[in-house]
Copies of this chain bind each other. A is one copy, B any other.
């Protein structure tokens, strides 16, 4: 089976002049990158990158068997699946669904749809949850055919906890003593607040594996259960991810797509191009750009390096969509500050095509008639690539041979491992998120949670009343 292809010719100085990387510099960096490979292997052996083991046994079989058992158990029982989670407990789920099921999935009638309708509620916006709840109650007044899947390692994430407490209550009001049967939890297998609730209430459950951080967890039960419920081939996803392991372990960067991707992006970051656009030419892949936004931003955005020196490292991931954003962002990408690297994603052969019919007798539009949509899409992408090169803007392309679960698995593994390389290249810890803590504590303070009172005062002291307001009486 062919692999994803990374073409980075448009990053080099022979294409884009001084704005590009000198091929000699690339040569000269080979040994350093090989050393990062050694270090990654050592980290893996020490269990510090447990995400890499997810596509392999024993983790893989344990997870897929448990998931399969639950999915079989649920077969034919539910028309609506509501996932409660946020960040790494939602972005992967959304990305898999949008990549591998039609955009009209939720609209398809029962029976045609390969699984329950899927809603991923990744916010505490009451209109979002309220509208979804209204809809669920309209199509399923007793909620007996509505399944809630709460995903939280600790159970303490405020947003997920708030959604969970609300949905649990709604189910109890509808289903009484049977409510627990309509909740499936994905949480820590042995400890934490959600674990206690699961044990006390008797929910069916799946594990968030040890040592796998939220943003690296999509190929665990966190991302795979909802995918499997909606008919996605999770074995193919894992096969694809597994197949990227050996290429991304090669010591020679010129044959290791993860090392090359990381090297290019971190080199450009150091040279004043810290804005990293991911721009699929395929609507289905657009949500994968949101998943990428998290893994790239949260892993690499770090104030201190591994020795504790202040570095304010990081790169800003930006999502864009081709051709759509040719009519929105490309003007800026070509003529604005040269501070970006554009990462195209395209698909060589989409599972479906349409031909633009002939028969409209308008001279100016004859050139489109009888041509396929994929031909036009490919021409638009190539034209944009050309226009960026003309403006000396670095860009690369990741090509999917086709759009299926196997290649989505490859894409996920590619970026996960690239993130690990990038962390070493920046000399930062890519696996923590210390800056998120202060906001959580301040939220607790503002919400009156015992033990966090000091933050209430701190927030008031820092933000105070503002007189910098328009209108002033607003």
A362 touching B332 by the CB < 8 A rule? Answer: no
Could you tell me the distance between the alpha carbons of A169 and B368 in the complex, rounded to whole angstroms? Answer: 14
The answer for the CA separation of A255 and B473 in the assembled complex, in Å, is: 11
Q: Verify if A386 is at the interface (C-beta below 8 Å from B).
A: yes
Partner among B197, B301, B458 whose Cβ is within 8 Å of the Cβ of A362:
B197
Query: Could you pull out 20 A-B pairs where Cβ atoms are within 8 angstroms?
Result: A7-B466, A8-B469, A9-B468, A87-B326, A102-B131, A128-B284, A157-B327, A162-B373, A255-B471, A293-B329, A294-B327, A297-B329, A297-B336, A313-B337, A316-B340, A326-B439, A330-B435, A367-B448, A375-B447, A386-B439
Nearest residue, chain B, Cβ from A168: B360
- Contact digits for A122-155, partner B, Cβ 8 Å, 1 yes 0 no: 1111111111101100100000000000000001
User: Contact between A364 and B156 (Cβ–Cβ < 8 Å)?
Assistant: yes
Inter-subunit contact B443/A385 (CB<8 Å): no
Which one of A56-64, A183-191, A219-227, A349-357 is at the interface?
A349-357
Q: Say yes or no: A312 contacts B331, CB within 8 Å.
A: no
Expressed in whole angstroms, the minimum distance between the Cβ of A239 and any Cβ of chain B is: 17
Chain B residues whose C-beta falls within 8 Å of the C-beta of A109 in the assembled complex: 138
Let me know if B254 and A470 touch, CB within 8 A: yes
The reply to whether A2 and B166 form a contact with Cβ atoms under 8 Å apart is no
Q: Report A278-329 residues with CB < 8 Å from chain B CB.
A: 281-284, 290, 293-294, 297-298, 300-303, 312-316, 318, 321-324, 326-329
B339 contacts A469, C-beta separation under 8 Å:
no
Known: A301-B336, A459-B386. A444 touches B104 (CB 8 A): no
Which of A6, A313, A324 gathers most chain B CB within 10 Å?
Answer: A324
Most buried by B among A104, A135, A327, A434: A327
A377 on the B face (CB < 8 A)? yes
Residues of B within 8 A of A38 (CB): none
* B469 near A7: Cβ-Cβ < 8 Å: yes
A379 close to B443 (CB less than 8 A): yes
Rounded to whole Å, the gap between the CB of A414 and the closest CB of chain B is 10
Q: Say yes or no: is A271 at the interface (Cβ < 8 Å to chain B).
A: no
A214 vs B387: C-alpha distance in the bound complex, in angstroms?
21
Query: Are B284 and A127 closer than 8 Å at their CB atoms?
Result: yes
- A335 and B353 contacting across the interface, CB-CB below 8 Å: no
Chain B nearest CB, measured from A126 CB (Å): 4
Contact A379 B446, beta carbon cutoff 8 Å: yes
A334 sits at the interface (CB 8 A): yes
Beta-carbon contacts of A197-219 to B below 8 Å, as 1s and 0s? Answer: 10000000000000000110000
In whole Å, how far is A114's beta carbon from the nearest beta carbon of chain B? 14
Task: Check: A365 CB closer than 8 A to any chain B CB.
Answer: yes
Q: Is the Cβ of B332 less than 8 Å from the Cβ of A314?
A: yes
**A45: CB under 8 A from chain B?**
no
A176 interfacial contact with B, CB 8 Å: no
Evaluate whether A274 and B362 lie within 8 angstroms (CB atoms) in the complex, with A283-B128, A357-B169, A386-B442 already known.
no
Cα of A403 to Cα of B337 in the assembled complex, Å:
35
Chain B contacts of A374 at CB under 8 A?
126
A390 CA / B459 CA spacing, docked (Å): 10
